[in-house]
Amino acid sequence: MNTIPIYTTKDFQSDQDVRWCPGCGDYSILAQTQRVFPDLGIPKEKTVFVSGIGCSSRFPYYMITYGFHGIHGRAAAIASGLKIAHPDLSVWVATGDGDGMSIGGNHFIHACRRNTGLKILLFNNQIYGLTKGQFSPTSLQGQVTKSTPFGNIDHPFNPLSLALGAQATFVSRTLDRDPKHMQTVIKRAAAHNGTAFVEIYQNCNVFNDGAFELWTEKDSKDDNVVVLENGKPLIFGKNKDKGIRLNGFTPEVVSLIDGKYTTSDLILHDEKDPMLAFILAGMSGIQNLPRPVGVVYAVEKSTYEQLMQNQIDDITTKKGIGDLEKLFNRGETWEVK
Amino acid sequence: MAKITKNIDEVTIRFAGDSGDGMQLTGGQFTTATAFVGNDLATMPDYPAEIRAPAGSLAGVSSFQINFGATEIRTPGDQSDCLVVMNPAALKVYLKKLREGGSIIANADNFNEKNLRLAAYESNPLQNDSLGRYQVYSVEISKLTQNALKDLNLSPKIVDRTKNFFALGLTYWMYNRPMEPTLKWIKEKFAGKEDIIEANTRVLKAGHAYGETTEIFTVRFEVAPAQLPPGRYRSITGNEATAWGLMAAAKRANLELFLGSYPITPASEILQELSKYKNYGVKTFQAEDEIAGITSAIGASYGGALGATNTSGPGLALKTEAMGLAVMLELPLIIIDVQRGGPSTGLPTKTEQADLLQAVYGRNGEAPIPVFAACSPTDCFDTTFEAARIALKYMTPVIVLTDGYIANGAEPWLIPRISELPDLSPTFVTNLEGFAPYKRDPQTLARMWAIPGTPGLEHRIGGLEKENITGNISYDPDNHHLMITTRAEKINNITNDIPPAKLVGDESGDLLVVSWGSTYGAVHNAVETKRNEGLSVSHLHLKYINPLQKNIGEILKNFKQILVPEINLGQLIKILRDKYLVDAVGFNLVRGLPFSAVEIENKIDEMIKRG
Ligand SMILES: Cc1ncc(C[n+]2csc(CCOP(=O)(O)OP(=O)(O)O)c2C)c(N)n1
Ligand code: SF4
């Protein structure tokens, strides 16, 4: 019988010098990942981290699992091939907002759509870190970066909406500064059967410091973040005194203390509701609304590798295991004496 | 009137008509019947890039050429001896490829005013004397087909669709081919549709009977079986052979085959073919683009499958960066490039040899990749298998070059016994002791291969420069130099593992013709002809372009002149000049067409004369 060894966090910490800038949000992501991995019940040798290029893509070097540092943007495609060829592996993708949404945008959407059992961790720092500070597809409009001295004129991607639009079956968001929350989200992603997308707000303290301050700092966080919990109403605020209700299809913040609304008027989070998922994801772009974090959407859908295996089994049952010798000799053949 | 039978050694027939006339099918059936007789043969389809160009137009002409004989056949033939045309446009396009005195079988019914205008004929060539140099058989194929099916109550459209079988039956009579294989095919193809079976059967037989009974046909031809090596044969196209070569290699390597691919003419059939074999340990993945095609294959190889990707020129360009990654990772990978006319979208359905330098050099950094080229449809099998052998043994990507001409062409294939093919099984490391990801086999310099799932061997690899042996990231200048030279040396080592080049002809002389890829057949025929005329000319054909075989330099030295015909502006010649400092002369025609033997012969004459 296969028993899974009992691991500790240490078992996943490699001896390689970690090369991120001191204070970088990537450290927290690495630490939380190493912390939850012993709990996942996956043998180390069956785990593979695949990445592209960027600061964030150094991630595989620091995990004692199998690791593959690819080329810019292609992590999802490499990982797809690996997962399809070897469905028994637990395949994780570490990618940046540039790596995953710009040069690798095509692979990203198709990985979502196919539901190829990948766990995609998107380190979103709204900047190109490794190439030293150009804007990325998630940079804000107006943002001044090395390549936008007069302010960025691009409209940014909203990664959650993009993933949902691409038919992802698991869409979530967490924050580098909230270790506990990140751990639960990573665990949920690991347990999901299919492609799981985790957007992680990650501070690049060198080129885009404070980009997510409002949602991560103690004094502003509670009033600006709503933590999604399945089946629970959307309540937030330092004193849990605010909620979100739907006015038609538009979410709006309401007070729970002025007597007009009670918790029963609020949105009840339902991870399986695709329409709600779009509304929640869309909140990110609207001023005066808190940022949702947590699992926005999670549904079960057949995975690519399972459907492929079904076809293989089906055809093998019908036709038997293929015999090349027979195949080569099938149909019109003739003998030369 | 008595009919005479003439014995001939070799014939080339071309079936040409509108895209909708079923000429590819007709040619395919003729091929099967010809193989059945035991002739050697080679075929070449030629069709427009548009799915359906306007009916009757010059752009919409589709054709199928077959060369068959009692002797060894190496090309689909330069010029045809017999041209079957279903409309004026087909005649217009292919008449120039008919030899003087050749026969034309024309469907006279389609030479109406509208079709003549579409083909830019001012008057009907079947009725004026413009075709005086040919033997013209003007046959009312449409009408005769209708007559044969009068009582069947089929729609005119269905009736019209069978007329190609009338032409087929007629050529079966002319060249004395058996009808049985086609009759059998009709029964299987249209099983359950009795009226269609009946219609096609009748029309085929009507065509045959027409040859037998009508007075206009006085001669029929007999082509004796060829002396092929004994064994069981089948007809195979280059793309099928490539697909099967991959399957055979995976089988002999005991690995699962994974093809990551994105459709592109003329390479798509490899993906389509392999997608049929899910119960053979084959996984095909139609990716979102060529980059995902190759990177997914790299991912699969990393996991311990035999990863492969196939494409044509524009797709090879997209795969470039990932090929460099495969070089750094030192993983086995097979990259198939079915070349077509370029640059850019170029001539998608036409052939060319212009990706050679892209394959050999087209990457950033020092990224050596072995490049092997197939020379004929059946050689696609051998070359692909050989590529897999080298890829697995040397832990390297290997590029296989074929082209549209041999990919779509077909020839008889001596079916190999799988169990007699070389064993390609790789050794996966499972033992922790002494493992390091970039530790190498001292002989081949191949690195160790440990795959995910192996306990204790967790390690990280990637595109950043590796430290020798450990595989850790390294920016050390001397280490980089060492790794660059080691990777190059590893590829050069392959010369120890491939057979020396063989010449056809004498080992020294006035002229050596050097070919690679699909020009093999035409060059071979041309050199043979010229040698029979007494000229001092030899032929060297290269399958291994990178690395070149050890004895190439020696061979080149022994000839006064060297000629390199290529369907590009001179690519192999650059490599030869660079490596051996030889004063070779190029012969370069880039028309989207294969060379004809005659063109090479003329060039040989010119070179010998010049001395
Ligand atoms: C083909 C290619 N183009 C460009 C680059 C340069 N490059 C490396 S990382 C990067 C962007 C990284 O940004 P992101 O993905 O957000 O990761 P971060 O460094 O911020 O973690 C770029 C443009 C490259 N390595 N390869
Ligand atoms: S540049 Fe930014 S993202 Fe990259 S390591 Fe430094 S802080 Fe982190």
Cα of A129 to ligand 2 centre, how many Å? Answer: 5
**Which residues of A, range 56-115, sit inside 8 Å of B by Cβ?**
60-61, 64-71, 74, 77-86, 88-89, 106-107, 110
The answer to whether B322 touches A72, Cβ cutoff 8 Å, is no
CA distance B264 to B254: 29
Cβ contact, residue pair A84, B285, below 8 Å: yes
Using CB atoms, which residue from A44, A61, A64 is nearest to B473? Answer: A61
For residue A195, the 8-state DSSP code is -
Distance from C-alpha of B131 to C-alpha of B109, rounded to nearest angstrom:
18
Q: In degrees, to the nearest 5, what angle opens at C-alpha B377 toward C-alphas B234 and B48?
A: 110
- What was the pLDDT predicted at B452? 98
| pLDDT mean over A40-60 | 97
Backbone angles phi, psi at B435, to 5 degrees: -85, 135
Interface with A, mutate which of B227, B280, B363 (most A CBs under 10 A): B280
Distance CA B134, CA B539 (A): 35
The pLDDT, as a whole number, for residue B519 is: 97
Query: According to the model, what pLDDT value does residue A1 have?
Result: 47
Quick check: A51 pLDDT over 60? yes
Q: Where are the alpha helices (DSSP H) in B254-306?
A: 268-274, 290-302
**Residue reference for tokens 């996991």:** B303
pLDDT over 80 at B48, yes or no: no
Written as six digits, the tokens of B185 are 């095919």
Cα-to-centroid distance, A22 and ligand 2 (Å): 8
Structure-token pair, residue B347: 């001539």
| Residue A96, ligand 1, Cβ within 6 A | yes
- Please choose, from the candidates B515, B514, B518, B308, the residue with its C-alpha nearest in 3D space to the C-alpha of residue B409: B518
Query: Residue A27 carries which DSSP code?
Result: H
CA pair distance B178, B163, nearest whole angstrom: 19
- Cα–Cα distance list, A249 to A203, A231, A267, A276, A279 (Å): 32, 19, 11, 9, 8
Mean pLDDT for A196-213 is 98
Handedness of CA B261, B263, B269, B273 (dihedral sign): positive
pLDDT(A178) > 90: yes
Q: Kindly tell me the burial class for residue A10, based on how many C-beta atoms sit within 10 Å of its own C-beta (0-12, 13-18, 19 or more).
A: exposed
What are phi and psi for residue A147, nearest 5 degrees?
Answer: -105, 5
User: Which residues 5-64 of A have a C-beta within 8 angstroms of B?
Assistant: 14, 16, 43-48, 50-51, 53, 60-61, 64
Residues 209 through 228 of chain A touching chain B, CB cutoff 8 Å: none
CA-CA distance, B473 to B461, in Å (whole number)?
9
Cα–Cα distance for residue pair B298/B323, rounded to 1 Å: 9
Please list every residue in chain B whose beta carbon sits closer than 8 Å to the beta carbon of residue A43: 455
Q: Residue A299 in contact with residue A272, Cβ under 8 Å?
A: yes
Per-residue confidence band for B1, with pLDDT thresholds at 50, 70 and 90: low
Task: Please give the pLDDT value at position A2.
Answer: 58
Pairing of the two strands B371-373 and B410-414: unpaired
Contacts by B53-59, CB closer than 8 A, 24 or more apart: B53/B19, B54/B118, B55/B18, B55/B19, B55/B20, B56/B18, B56/B87, B56/B88, B56/B89, B56/B114, B56/B115, B56/B118, B56/B119, B57/B89, B57/B118, B57/B119, B58/B89, B58/B92, B58/B93, B58/B118, B58/B119, B58/B120
B463, A69 contact by CB (below 8 A):
yes
Q: Which residue of A has its CA nearest to B31?
A: A332
Residues with Cβ within 8 Å of residue A184, at least 6 apart in sequence = none
Closest by CA to B350, choosing from B601, B83, B569, B567, is B567
Identify the residue whose tokens are 């004989």: B69
- Out of A60-64, A282-286, B225-229, give the one with best mean pLDDT: A60-64
Per-residue pLDDT reduced to its tens digit, B341-382: 999 999 999 999 999 999 999 999 999 999 999 999 999 999
DSSP assigned state of B503: E
| Structural contact between residues A28 and A182, judged by C-beta atoms closer than 8 angstroms | yes
CA A9 distance to own-chain centroid? 22
Across the strands, what pairs with B235? B412
| Inter-axis angle of helices B520-532 and B597-610, nearest 10 | 50
Average pLDDT, chain A: 96
pLDDT digits (tens, 9 = 90+) for A253-309: 999 999 999 999 999 999 999 999 999 999 998 889 999 999 999 999 999 999 999
Extended strands (E) in B312-395: 333-339, 371-373
Inform me whether the pLDDT recorded for B9 exceeds 50. yes
Q: CB-based burial of residue B300 (10 Å sphere; 0-12 exposed, 13-18 middle, 19+ buried)?
A: buried
Mean pLDDT of chain B: 96
* pLDDT greater than 60 at residue B294: yes
Interface probe for B, chosen from A45, A47, A102, A327 (most Cβ of B below 10 Å), is A45
Cα A31 from Cα A28, distance rounded (Å): 5
Structure token digits, residue B506: 């004498």
Tokens of B26: 């007709």
Instruction: Specify the residue for token string 């049952």.
Output: A317
- Average pLDDT rounded to a whole number, residues B580-589: 98
Task: For residue B107, give both structure tokens.
Answer: 């469907």
